[in-house]
Amino acid sequence: MSSEKLFLQVRNMIADHLGKDAELITLESSFRDDLGADSLDLVEMIMSMEEMFDIEISESEAESIRTVGDAIGFIKSHV
């Protein structure tokens, strides 16, 4: 899967989950600071990513995912 396609899939999932405009979500967007995600949102999005890409993300790994770019990097290294 290309990096661009991966980004678009993750960006659209985040936009749908958080009710944000997908065009405003960038690789640098912080889930908490820029997108306003709370801890429950983060858990739900991690679960969605696990399901979408058939990967497992441990609690400690999830804690290191702070930006959209972090999520993309993690997914790319595990698929």
Q: Which domains are seen in the chain, by residue range?
A: 3-78 (1.10.1200.10)
Neighbours of 16 (CB within 10 A): 11
Report, as residue numbers or ranges, the catalytic residues: 38
Shortest CA distance to 18 belongs to which of 28, 7, 29? 29
Residues 21 and 45: beta-carbon distance below 8 Å: no
Q: What is the dihedral of CA 9, 15, 16, 19, to 10 degrees?
A: 180
Per-residue pLDDT of the chain (79 residues; tens, 9 = 90+): 788 999 999 999 999 999 999 999 999 999 999 999 999 999 999 999 999 999 999 999 999 999 999 999 999 999 8
Neighbours of 53 (CB within 10 A): 17
